[in-house]
Structure 1
Amino acid sequence: MHLQAEPTCQMAVASALSERILQNALAVANNRVETLRNRCRRQRSDIDDLQSRVHRLERENEALRRQTADLNVAVAHFRDEILPRVQTVPTGETARPVGHDRPLSHKSHKDPALDVAAILDEIDRAMAKPVVPPGSATSRQKHDDASRLFFQIRKALPPAAFSEFLRVVSALPAPRTGERPSSDVVDRVRPLLAQHDPDLFDRFRRLVLNAN
């Protein structure tokens, strides 16, 4: 009886050890699986964040693309249709739109392309700088400064208000050479521009009136 019980006891011990080893191996495997699951969750969260950023950047890029297209159209129109109508002349003479025999103060108000010429004239006089021949670096810089002001105003105002702004400016007679720009320009533009962009109106006022 004693000899038969010993193998049975050994088998029981071996079985218990095997079960303990298997349980430990299973626990290690479960821990590894849980670790991988947590890592996958973090990676999935990172992927979701990246996708959200990509979608946001795509929307911003599309908005910038539309703005760039609109700006390109405006720049092309200003370069091809408006600037060719504005000529700079020596100090002491009256500026005239190219192809027209009347000074700006007597120009037709039906041509909206001439409105910017009035804006340029007001800016030139407000800056109190000598008018230089076309094509020089100073002349190009002055036109660049004026065009930036024009596009800032164009961007700030809704279409209807911008059309009214051009109508008001074009209806004002240009001051004679040597005169200080009239405050009528500011007074007439104030209700149009100030309500949409007070800061831009203040810059416009300071520029036109040559204020500090």
Structure 2
Amino acid sequence: MAIEHPNAHVTGIDMADMFPTAIRPENVSFQLTNIIDGLPYDDNTFDFVHMRQLVVGLRATEWPSVLAEIFRVLKPGGLVQLVESDFTEMGQSQLIDAVLTTLHRAMQDRGQDPWIASKLQNLLSDTTFNDVQQETRSIEFGKDGDPIAGELLWSWKSAMRSLKPFLAHRLLKNPDEYSPVLERYFHECTHYHWHMKIWALSARKPTATSLAAASSSS
């Protein structure tokens, strides 16, 4: 983003220090921040905020306050973009269903919502964003010649491997079997062309003019 928009200043935040080191354009900076604790920026700071893949990072009750923080730091007329995964597609195989059911239950035990992506449109409206737009795309694992599917499968494998402490004891009597079972699961995802849905949403923080117009029309 910083390279493609050299006249913009780009700020990247994360709660883990996983920031790029090899590529560091002069117009980008990084900051360790947990959005749950609030964003360390003044009101009306940014023209654009992009947030993605926090379906397993935020509890269902935390989404409204996170969106409110994004609303606060955006300038009037500024845009927010959200991209989230929906890994709730069932029915391809017993193993796929077993892994996903275990993941969904583990998330719900932690207060997370596996179906949060489908609810973001209403949450954005509830946060008084306007011009809310939503698109969905189904990504088919194992589809030849689809670089996005290949990249997403690689990311999904990394995520599921990192969730071993979270899932292994729930899925298996012997947690040591998690890695080979996971490899069979990945094979079946591609063999049965399991689908993951991606939700992309954008919305705008109202300007004073748009607020006044909405008030007068109501």
Q: Which structure's CA Rg is the greater one?
A: 1
Please give the range of the TM-score, normalised by the shorter of the 2 chains: under 0.3
Scaled by the length of structure 1, the TM-score of the pair is 0.23
Name whichever structure is richer in helix by fraction.
1
Considering Cα pairs closer than 8 Å and 6+ residues apart, tell me whether 1 or 2 has the greater RCO: 2
Name whichever structure is richer in strand by fraction.
2
